Amino acid sequence: MSTKEKTALGIELGSTRIKAVAIDAQHKPVTSGDFTWAARYENGIWTYDLPDVWKGLKTALSAVQDRENVGVLGISGMMHGYLAFDENWQLLVPFRTWQNTITAPAAAELTASFGFNVPQRWSIAHLYQAVLNGEEHLPRLAHITTLAGYVHYMLTGVNAVGVGEASGIFPIDSDTLDYDAAMVEKCNALLKAHGFEKDVRDVMPAVLAAGEDAGCITEAGSALLDGLLAAGIPVCPPEGDGGTGMTATNSVAPRTGNVSAGTSIFAMVVLEKMLENVYEEIDLVTTPSGRPVAMVHCNNCTNDTNAWVGVLGEAAALMGAQFSVGELFTKLYQKSLEGEADCGGVLVCNYLAGEGVTHMDTGRPLVARRADSRFTLANFFKAQLYSTMATLHLGMDILAKEKVAIDSMTGHGGLFKTPGVGQKYMAAACGAPITCMETAGEGGPYGMALLAAYLLRKAEGETLEDYLNDRVFAGVTGTTLAPEAADIAGFAAYIAEYKKLLAVEQTAIEAL
């Protein structure tokens, strides 16, 4: 890479890693860095320490080569959640992440009032629940935002988020590309009835569409990063992991969709028209340019599988085997292909956290089998991988009933890193071909880098859809796997038993 060539840098604060990826003028990743972190469960709350944000950012950026050539950048992070600050941007309560399922009364009231599904993890549900709880910090509350919004503000001094990120804070009006005015008024009335007098518009960040001016790194922002990025670099509107996933997979036009599978799993389908009914299981969010999207979001995906891989790795090491963690994952994924179509009667429920789609506020990971089940390594690990997408399948069934048209689905995230395995199972789960591109394992930061690069194109009047189709993905090929009849039948048999397992899961939650 020429030292004079300007790059676009995408930074994503994901649930397990903070990663930075720089792309060149041909939109190819050229350098990256990362930092591993994890949520902690403290006092009934899933949270991260904000000092770790800055430690992680500096660690990730330190590994990025030629930082002086970064010409534009963007910040992404886990969507939703609750970061509450006073007027001086001092944190008032520990960060409440998307994993928390502690806002059921608030979410239900808002959904009923709006006639629009407000999931528990949305920022407005967290704020309203805090009001219902009468929490002590509320008189000092001046700002609520998301993780990406917080980092963007600290680096630029601009309190704004991209419209896709904003759509996980509060419902968006697809005509104005701003918070829905009628719902804002309804929300204000509910808040006021419980003693919260502030206008919700004043505490939420401003909304920007992809490509709009969102400020530059300030001297103070550069200092927060120990000078690893210079002041003056333009920064695009911050987006959530949903928006970056859509961008990285060229899934921002109607009838396109993608599946992001990592710690959580979610499918996003860009709609031609709004759904006819309101469903608790379906989020209505937007693309980074504001098009309506149906989102099936499940809190639990690979965490339980990761734990089992750790245990199996301990057993192998006990016998003197030497291997990398990546090799072990690959071998186990490939071994699962030898499993029976229905996993031999082995069942797994992977709920470490609560799960909105199946209406459970917490989780208890389970492995269950009958006496006649074939409990082999291949069947067990296939059941593990089926469990990562089982709840998603239940949500996708709703979109099928609504006759939502899907021309293409693209997979990205850690579940797709082993070629042909997660992709094959996901095709069966979705009943549609799944395409994976070369960037499938690193969709988020790559997508954010593309949104950063789009700043220049938007200034020239190019739409995000045309930019991705004509400049980024023109001529790019991926691997597409269509669902096989045997896989569809096997997954259907597994799901029929999985639905019964959910009753066992509910009992486990109550008993343990």
In percent, the amount of the chain with pLDDT more than 70 equals: 98
Among 373, 355, 372, CA closest to 364: 355
pTM for the complete prediction? 0.83
Q: Tell me how far apart the alpha carbons of residues 471 and 443 are, in angstroms, rounded to a whole number.
A: 18
At residue 423 the predicted structure's pLDDT band, cuts being 50, 70 and 90, is: very high
Task: Please tell me the least confidently modeled range out of 157-161, 349-353, 357-361.
Answer: 357-361
Q: What is the pLDDT of residue 112?
A: 96
Among 66, 56, 44, 65, CA closest to 11: 56
Please tell me whether residues 459 and 319 are part of one structural domain.
no
pLDDT, mean of residues 239-250:
90
Query: Is residue 2's pLDDT more than 50?
Result: no
Instruction: For residue 392, tell me if it sits in a domain.
Output: yes
Query: What would the pLDDT profile of 293-314 be if each residue is shown by its tens digit?
Result: 999 989 899 999 999 999 999 9
Please tell me whether residues 466 and 486 are part of one structural domain.
no
CA gyration radius for the chain?
22
SS percent in the chain: helix, strand, coil, step 5: 40, 20, 40
Q: What is the pLDDT of residue 438?
A: 67
Please tell me whether residues 465 and 406 are part of one structural domain.
no
Instruction: For residue 256, tell me if it sits in a domain.
Output: no
Please tell me whether residues 377 and 236 are part of one structural domain.
no
Instruction: For residue 395, tell me if it sits in a domain.
Output: yes
Please tell me whether residues 363 and 497 are part of one structural domain.
yes
434 contact partners, CB below 8 Å, separation of at least 6: 259, 409, 410, 411, 423, 426, 427, 480, 481
Interior/surface letters 493-504, b for 16+ CB within 10 angstroms, e for the rest: ebbebbeebbee
Domain assignment of residue 241, given as a range: 7-249+443-472
Instruction: For residue 332, tell me if it sits in a domain.
Output: yes
Whose structure tokens read 């407005």? Answer: 124
Query: Is residue 1's pLDDT more than 50?
Result: no
Instruction: For residue 410, tell me if it sits in a domain.
Output: yes
Query: What would the pLDDT profile of 49-76 be if each residue is shown by its tens digit?
Result: 999 999 999 999 999 999 999 999 999 9
Instruction: For residue 1, tell me if it sits in a domain.
Output: no
145 contact partners, CB below 8 Å, separation of at least 6: 83, 85, 123, 153, 159, 161, 169, 204, 205
Strand-pair partners of 408: 256
Instruction: For residue 419, tell me if it sits in a domain.
Output: yes
Q: What is the pLDDT of residue 66?
A: 94
Please tell me whether residues 396 and 461 are part of one structural domain.
no
* Through-space distance between the first and last CA atoms of the chain, rounded to whole angstroms: 56
Instruction: For residue 364, tell me if it sits in a domain.
Output: yes
Please tell me whether residues 81 and 194 are part of one structural domain.
yes
At residue 280 the predicted structure's pLDDT band, cuts being 50, 70 and 90, is: confident
Q: What is the pLDDT of residue 46?
A: 93
366 contact partners, CB below 8 Å, separation of at least 6: 347, 348, 349, 351, 501, 504, 505, 508
Please tell me whether residues 85 and 152 are part of one structural domain.
yes
Query: Is residue 440's pLDDT more than 90?
Result: no
pLDDT, mean of residues 152-161:
98
Number of domains in the chain: 2
Q: Give the CATH number for residue 392.
A: 3.30.420
- Torsion 330-412-351-379 (CA) sign: negative
Please tell me whether residues 184 and 326 are part of one structural domain.
no
Please tell me whether residues 455 and 392 are part of one structural domain.
no
Please tell me whether residues 205 and 188 are part of one structural domain.
yes
* Tokens representing residue 325 in the block: 């963690």
Q: What is the pLDDT of residue 4?
A: 63
At residue 442 the predicted structure's pLDDT band, cuts being 50, 70 and 90, is: low
Q: Give the CATH number for residue 140.
A: 3.30.420.40
Please tell me whether residues 381 and 457 are part of one structural domain.
no
Beta strands 70-77 and 83-85, pairing class: unpaired
Q: What is the pLDDT of residue 439?
A: 52
pLDDT, mean of residues 24-51:
94
